[in-house]
Chain A
Amino acid sequence: GDSVTQMEGPVTLSEEAFLTINCTYTATGYPSLFWYVQYPGEGLQLLLKATKADDKGSNKGFEATYRKETTSFHLEKGSVQVSDSAVYFCALGFQGGSEKLVFGKGTKLTVNP
């Protein structure tokens, strides 16, 4: 079945450090890929997405590129801030069907000043 595997956490960084959170997927067909973020005390919200191979999603300084050849969608940010502290979830879904998303287990990021 479809699945998402993401880097185990927690991840602790200093402010302005470079961030990478790895995500790989297994899917039949051609999924869309997403990163969702859950800030403390808030609901999950979409951070960025990519709908086909080689697409790059970007938002708030975060980027991820849909790599079909390596079935990956790694999240990166060049310089993290304290306000980026949150739990990040990689997910996949299919256009045209139900709004079912398959999520990874989440990676907790803490950024220290």
Chain B
Amino acid sequence: ETGVTQSPTHLIKTRGQQVTLRCSSQSGHNTVSWYQQALGQGPQFIFQYYREEENGRGNFPPRFSGLQFPNYSSELNVNALELDDSALYLCASTPGGANTGELFFGEGSRLTVL
């Protein structure tokens, strides 16, 4: 069984740039969530995708957007990067409709904004 994989693992951007982070969900999982984990903090929910549609969003501005593809992989896009966007971005997948709270996380993409 293939786990959740994320790419890239590390990247550096400058203020105002745009970034795309990618996630392949675990085999058989059709729901993907994205979380932001700032240094020394717990993960914060950004949004969730189920069957290619956003079906839940946290307190993040519209410049954080996402996509889910027919194969259930997903992208997180962040426009107009700000210094405070520096964080570890985590992708998590679950079997659709399970709502058990058991999320399967990838190792994350660490974004540094200079």
Contact of A100 with B45 at beta-carbon distance under 8 Å, contacts A43-B4, A44-B90, A105-B40 already known: yes
- CB neighbours of A100 from chain B (8 A): 33, 45, 48, 56, 58
A4 near B: Cβ within 8 Å? yes
Task: Determine whether A32 belongs to the interface, using a CB cutoff of 8 Å to chain B.
Answer: yes
Q: How far is the CA of A101 from the CA of B107 in the complex (A)?
A: 17
Please, how many angstroms separate the alpha-carbon atoms of A44 and B102 in the complex?
A: 10
User: Contact between B55 and A98 (Cβ–Cβ < 8 Å)?
Assistant: yes
Query: What is the interface of chain A, defined by CB distance below 8 A to chain B?
Result: 4, 32, 34, 41-46, 49, 89, 91, 93, 95-106
Question: Is chain B's interface secondary structure helix, strand, loop, or mixed overall?
Answer: loop
With most chain B CB atoms within 10 A of its CB, the pick from A49, A93, A95, A98 is: A98
Nearest chain B CB to A5 CB, angstrom units: 10
How long is the Cα–Cα vector from A46 to B93 in the complex, in angstroms?
Answer: 13
Assess the B101–A44 pair: CB atoms within 8 A.
no
B103 at the interface (CB under 8 A from A): yes
CA distance A99 to B92 in the complex (A): 9
Chain A residues with CB under 8 A of B94:
99
**Distance in angstroms between the alpha carbons of A72 and B8 in the assembled complex:** 37
Question: Known contacts A44-B90, A44-B103, A95-B99; is A106 also within 8 Å of B42 by CB?
Answer: yes
Q: Check A98/B40 contact, CB under 8 A, given A42-B107, A43-B107, A49-B102.
A: no
Residues of A with C-beta under 8 A to B48:
98-100
**Given contacts A43-B4, A105-B40, are A32 and B101 in contact (CB under 8 A)?**
yes
